[in-house]
Structure 1
């Protein structure tokens, strides 16, 4: 199995960053199994969970690679109870999200992830939304906002721009690698093995290795931009700053360094690691709720 590292260290409090004092959050040992629906674009069939009333303000929640939609099991319930329409898709290469066109390049670059969000919302006839994500989910959220700024009401991002490691291809080795990531990313969080096992099922997707491998090579400069995403990549690169309300969250016990972004409302969540939606669901839900309530909606 490939040795896996992800700059695993605890972050000290940074001067000038707002600290959000919250009680300690612990993920329950049992989370509800989220019901999955499928919605297809011309190229990809997306697996996703939805909650809340159809007429509610749309919220899209995006997980990191080597995690899955169950990171949002509690967050989605909290937001749905407030009358929001919550959409939680599997990232490409995870769960039941599948490439319909098998010849389509299995890109793992940011613009591809952001384009997937656009495609899903088009299928669901959703013109705009508040987007939240951690890790790759945060990268996808930023890409969506850069590619379609008029359709992004606000962003909540946790530990964006995390690197993709080279993951083993075999099932058992792949799960061991992901398990190590969970420990490295949240070193102070003693997660329940049943929770990990539930998420690990999402890594059995036949496209998982290809997508992660491409992301790894892309970040190392070993993979050229793929033709179907070149235009989007140019737009994304040109958008150095996203002119949208942005809340960034950082767990005080996260194994991943924060990303400094001009104009962001940065909040430090005491005791949490990388997987803030699962480790501190109320804190994540509060940030989403704030943007939904204060956002400038066109529709």
Structure 2
């Protein structure tokens, strides 16, 4: 099964660490990658030295996913509703680069990337699994598609919104066009260990590209 559900992302990261014989690591990620990092930190904390999660507590609250958000948040998630339709699946298949570039521009309004920068990443959108996994992710999170039965035990744990006890730094771009910075203000409730949150001025969604220095400082700096 080509699964985009959050349990698959977390298990993939854990399996990757196992394959490389990495016992413990500093995990750094944003968006889907941040979700994978948060899942490993929550469920397998013995494998994590430190967590740098861009965007906050990225584990989805799927049991509550059908509850409406404020209008501005719903507007920012238009593409997620689009991908929950058959038209959206076909649109992503036919216009994958156009859709993704538009999302980059919306999510990071102050980042002036060039064609070469986009094209280096866009090659991944041609992967034959790309559409299936993206569509499954955005449907599963709203209970509109079944998950992989092999991952249900992990999904059951994630449905409880497990807390993260490893030392953690939250970063958030002040101008993030999809996940507004205010959305991580209450993230501390999900953390029980040493914790710090920093909002990066001007930057949007792609902090590793837009504010690499801030990400590096979060990895090597003190938490407090």
> For this structure pair, what is the TM-score category when the shorter chain's length is used for normalisation?
0.7 to 0.9
More helix by percentage? 2
* Residues 146 and 235, structure 1, Cα contact 8 Å, conserved in 2: no
2:23 counterpart residue number? 127
1:170 aligns with 2:93: yes
Who is 2:46 aligned against?
A: 150
Taking the aligned partners of 1:118 and 1:240, their CA distance within structure 2 comes to 17
In structure 2, how many angstroms separate the alpha carbons of the residues matched to 1:268 and 1:153? Answer: 22
Give the RMSD, CA atoms, in angstroms.
1.9
The 1:208/1:121 distance shift into structure 2, 3 A limit, reads same
CA distance in 1, matches of 2:197, 2:152: 31
For residue 252 of structure 1, what is the aligned residue in structure 2? Answer: 174
1:281 aligned to 205, 212, 216, which one?
A: 212
Structure 1 SS opposite 2:221: helix
Q: Deviations over 1:93-145 (max 9, x none)?
A: xxxxxxxxxxxx11111111010011111110011111011111111111111
Quote how far apart the aligned CAs of 1:290 are.
Answer: 2.6
Q: Does 1:140 align with 2:62?
A: no
Instruction: Give runs of aligned pairs for residues 1-299 of structure 1, distance below 5 A.
Output: 105-160=1-56, 161=58, 165=80, 166=83, 168-170=91-93, 173-255=95-177, 256-257=179-180, 258-259=183-184, 260-262=186-188, 263=191, 264-290=195-221
Say if 2:93 and 2:131, in contact at 8 Å, map to a contact too.
no
Shift of 1:236: 2.4
Within 1, Cα distance between the matches of 2:218 and 2:146? Answer: 36
| Paired residues of 2:3 and 2:133 also in contact (CA < 8 A) | yes
CA deviation profile, 1:246-293 (whole Å, cap 9, x unmatched): 1111111111223331244110111111101011111101101237xx
Shift of 1:200: 0.2
Shift, 1:226, TM fit:
1.9
The secondary structure found in structure 2 opposite 1:216 is helix
Contact residue 43 and residue 162 of structure 2 kept, 8 A: no
TM-score by length of 1: 0.59
Instruction: Indicate the larger mover: 203-212 or 252-261.
Output: 252-261
Contact 1:133 1:157 in 2 (8 A): yes
How far does residue 239 in structure 1 lie from its aligned partner after superposition? 4.6
| TM-score, L = length of structure 2 | 0.77
Return the structure number with greater strand share. Answer: 1
Could you list the runs of 5+ residues in structure 1 that have no partner in the other structure? Answer: 1-104, 295-299
Checking the alignment, whether the CA contact within 8 Å between 1:186 and 1:253 is kept in structure 2 is yes
Deviations 1:209-239 (A, max 9, x none): 1111111111221122321100111222335
* Aligned structure 1 segments of 4 or more residues deviating by more than 6 angstroms: none
1:223 alignment partner, SS class: coil
CA distance in 1, matches of 2:174, 2:30: 15
CA distance in 2 between counterparts of 1:112 and 1:239 reads 16
Question: How many residues in Structure 1 have an aligned counterpart in Structure 2?
Answer: 187
